[in-house]
Chain A
Amino acid sequence: MTAFRLAHGGDWIDRETEIRFRFDGCSYAGFAGDTLAAALLANGVGVVSRSFKYHRPRGIWGGGVEEPNAIVDIRQDGLRSPNARATLVPLRPGLEAVSVNADPDAAHDRLGFIDRFARFLPAGFYYKTFMWPDWHLYEPRIRRMAGLGEADPAWRSARAADRRHAHCDLLVIGGGPAGLLAARIGAAKGQRVLLVESERRCGGSLRHRAGGIDGKAAAAWIDETVTLLRAGGHRVLCGATAFGIYDHNLVGICQQHEDGRPDTLWRVRAGHVAVAAGALERPLPFANNDLPGVMSADAALRYRVGHGIVPGRRVVVATNNDSAYEVAALLASDADVTLIDSRAEGGPGIAGLHARRGVLVAGAIGDSGVRAVQLSSGERLQADSLLVSGGWTPSVHLFCQARGKLHWSDAAQALLPAAPVDGVSVVGAARDGLMPLGKLFGAVAEAMNAPDGSAETTGAVSTGPEAACGVGAFWPFLGSQGRIWIDLQNDVTAKDVALAVRENYVSVEHLKRYTTLGMATDQGKTSNVAGLAALSEITGQPIGALGTTTYRPPFAPVPLATMVGLQGGELLNPIRRLPLEAQHRAAGAIFQEYGGWLRPAYYGAADAQAAIQAEARKARESVALFDGSPLGKIEVFGPKAAEFMDFIYYNTMSSLAPGRCRYGFMLSETGVVFDDGVLIRLAENHFIVSCSSGHVGAVRMRLEEWRQDRFGRDAVFIHDATAALATLTVSGPQARPLLQRAGLEIALDDEALPHMTVAAGRFDGAPIRVARISFTGDRSYEISIAVERADGLWRRLREAGQAFSAGLLGIEALMLLRMEKGYVVIGRDTDGTTMPHDLGMPGPRNNRKAEFVGRRSLFTEAANAGNRLNLVGLQVAAGEAPLPVGAHGVAMQDGRPRSIGFVTSSGSSPILQRPVALALIEAGATRIGETITLRHLGEMRQAVIAPACAFDPVGDRLHA
């Protein structure tokens, strides 16, 4: 490539500030205000990447978001980001860019030879070849050879992307002439306006195309408008790309900052959205139209006006429309320019311009850059740069995401928005294609005033030169000898489209998936219309009848890290922490997450199993302290509280006397056990639902549902006090002496506080509630106290425990203790089919007359089947290892093994000196004593079905 920078010119750069950067290992210099693409052009770097599939050399095509070729990995500030478009990367000191899919670099790629075998690698070749013996043998190699940038597994952002939420009356997407005017009109009407522009500065085409507004230069009008908006309290965001529009006008916007700060993700809820996203220039279809040096004419104009860059010494401008004439005219003062217009007539006459009319470009000639241009007339023009304009594709993506439909316009040679969508307008070139500025302003004013029709606000008048906007058809010629590239980024040619149609992939969605046309990171921004035109030519159907593929977010790639922001890692789902976490840490606790809470798994780091066994043994032999603070404490009050509890629970609760506790199940309406726990009746109309720690939120919701649906706010009141109270448990044969020593103001003798009762007391002046409830099978006291007083109580209990060498109990040891007793953990020892009678509690089902949640489901055919999974214990022979959790019981049926259930909990009991296990086994309750076979990962074991409770089946220890 022979692009070069003039010694003068370049409205967007600061020639005083030189910036050094590296590309593919070489050092270059550019200026502040350059993008990486501009700086590469200025340095004459022609080949910037290798193509996705055939490893063909590719150069810079565009000037912005549409860029299909110049995809680079960026290394800056110690971070590596894959697949950046060089046209959007601002040049910053220290920037290092590496071309993707090239080895060692884009200019000398080792896999460049693949292109010579291209005829053997058409669309979908991998579906037809590499089949024997197995595609997976070839897949890794093929994947390595194709593709784009590399993700860096060690990538860590210094700071998370910000997320901001905003509301506005009018969101204008695009800061070109149409967007700026739309924003001005909205502001004038008193709307709160937010305008987003994906480039670094507002202006759109006004920045590089000739024009004057309201008697001012375009640049002055742009500045005036932005200043006016900001002064009026409206927001103007630059470098911000609206990438998706979602239900109810939620718009996702990714804002990149020039100074290298992490991105900002905006979630804007807009009353009305005006899409003024402009239009993107299309390539022209001719052989070798992917050669480096073939560039969008409009992009070339941008580089000339903005950066002082001329694309070559001998420039051919090929077009099917009027917009390229301005490009040719401007470049003619710096280079030898020839204009080729495919139309025989029309187009603005420009004096002194070398032009050919009614002639097509048949092909570009060259190896790694344009050397000549072959015309359909047979003439061959020497050239080192071929600028093309194949017409303009309106950026209707957001309109289509909002379920807008398109129609084909012959006048614009483009798909344009059809019927309007509620809450979304499309204005400017995105709606009508290119048009003269005066006409465009008129259309914008009309569209923006339309919603209310009130107070006509006209806005702007074009006072500069008016561009002509004619366009003619110029579509892929399928009989071409050479390869005509349609999708540059995914290496799809016109022949691939023809092949797909031959194989009957004639729907646009099938064509896309079979050829990968439009599937790359640019999502076919420059290729979709040419693909449709090719399909239209082959099938004989008009373009408008073919439909389009579905437009989905994001409009442009958004880094995942930007989407995540702070909502990753631990913050994705913040863990709940115990009020006494510091005290547990000081005691050597190893923490794990249980049901959303960070809790001590065990104490002492050395040998986890030994520690767990010792804790469990201590709790059985003397006494242990356990922090049960996450235990549910949902208070239920009201005149109908007892009736409410009867309806909620499987068990009758209204017969419970005040001051007493009862264990029970809550069922789903499907009859499945949803939660278990103890209900405490403090007073006639005051209950406490002590549900399992991990279920508090769900239980509260369930209570609310039935309260609001069935009882009403005058009858029942619910208050979740779980987080307000810490619950400290003392369990073991020495629990009562320990508590007596601790000096709580409460009567602890068994007449005053027998098993399953509750009493109020005080500790150091603070109210406490003591419940004799056991989850270990030993005498236990659960003491609830305000969180802020928990530390004092915990210290007092630990001091009092010294006389009994009391231990601490982590969750793992507690799980062993409850397992010995056959106490279930809902969701672990039960599944989505377990009903109360499967857990050995058929009583209420058989005896209760009143209605309760899930009742009818307990009497279905399935609920009464003989082969239901029942909770049982499993016992293995002395000296054997514990059974693996998840091992399946198997029975032979028709010569094949069949699962008859599975192990749900398993461990080694220190007090019994043998393994214990709980399992759900088919008809297990009627098969106590039977030996069954269990299988796990190929290993077979034998076990005897036993009652779930393996330790102290009579329950004497609860009172000992």
Chain B
Amino acid sequence: MQQFTCPFCGPRDETEFHFGADAGKLRPEGADVSAEVWADYLYGTENRKGETLEIWMHLICGEFFKLRRDTVTHRVLAAMPLHAESSR
């Protein structure tokens, strides 16, 4: 079982976490969002081999955060709050 690091609670078992999305994925908005763009937003994930930056939620404290990890080695490289001001 992997161990992820919540920036607020420290290292915890992966079962305490829930995947959110690829980091940097923007929600397309407005009247003219094409079906293709919307479908990609709903269902497309990068599933990148190697280093990734993802949004995860720590179910215990309820905080979303950014997790940099390697999908091949499963190494956890860094964990950061979602927004800079959250680090207070």
Contacts and interface: CB of A to CB of B under 8 A. Distances in A.
A670 B39 CA distance: 9
Contact of A708 (B1, B29, B82): B82
B64 A708 contact: yes
Contacts of B9: none
A731 B83 CA distance: 47
A860 interface: yes
Contact of B35 (A246, A669, A700, A861): A861
Contacts of B14: 247
B42 A709 contact: no
Given A247-B1, A248-B3, A705-B57, A857 B42 contact: yes
Interface in B57-84: 57, 59, 62-64, 73-76, 82-83
Interface of A: 246-248, 250, 269, 422, 669-670, 700-701, 704-705, 708-709, 712-713, 851, 856-857, 860-861
Contact of B64 (A250, A670, A709): A709
Given A248-B3, A250-B1, A704 B82 contact: no
Given A248-B74, A713-B86, A856-B28, A705 B42 contact: no
A856 B42 CA distance: 11
Given A247-B1, A857-B38, 5 more contacts: A247-B14, A248-B74, A704-B62, A713-B85, A860-B38
8 closest A-B pairs by CB: A247-B2, A248-B3, A708-B64, A856-B38, A250-B1, A704-B62, A248-B2, A246-B1
B57 A248 contact: no
Nearest to B59: A701
Contacts of B63: 708
Nearest to A855: B29
Interface of B: 1-3, 14, 18, 20, 28-29, 33, 35, 38, 41-42, 57, 59, 62-64, 73-76, 82-83, 85-86
B82 A856 contact: no
B18 A701 contact: yes
A855 to B, nearest CB: 9
A269 B3 contact: yes
A553 B1 CA distance: 13
A424 to B, nearest CB: 13
B1 A248 contact: yes
A943 to B, nearest CB: 36
Contact of A712 (B18, B29, B76, B83): B83
A860 B28 CA distance: 15
Contacts of A712: 83, 85
A668 to B, nearest CB: 9
A802 B76 CA distance: 64
A709 B82 contact: yes
Contacts of A708: 63-64, 82-83
Nearest to A708: B64
Contacts of B85: 712-713
Nearest to A246: B1
Contact of B29 (A248, A851, A861): A851
A860 B18 CA distance: 28
Nearest to B63: A708
Contacts of A669: 41-42
Nearest to A860: B35
Nearest to A700: B62
Contacts of B73: 422
Given A248-B1, A713-B86, A704 B29 contact: no
Contacts of A704: 57, 62, 64
B64 A856 contact: no
A605 B17 CA distance: 43
Contacts of A860: 35, 38
A705 B1 contact: no
B33 A856 contact: yes
A790 B23 CA distance: 45
Given A856-B33, A856-B38, A705 B2 contact: no
| Residue with the highest number of chain B CB atoms closer than 10 Å, among A669, A701, A704, A856 | A856
Contacts of B62: 700-701, 704
Contacts of B2: 247-248
A713 B8 CA distance: 15
17 contacts: A247-B74, A248-B1, A248-B2, A248-B3, A248-B74, A248-B76, A422-B73, A700-B62, A701-B57, A701-B62, A704-B64, A708-B82, A712-B83, A713-B86, A856-B33, A857-B42, A861-B35
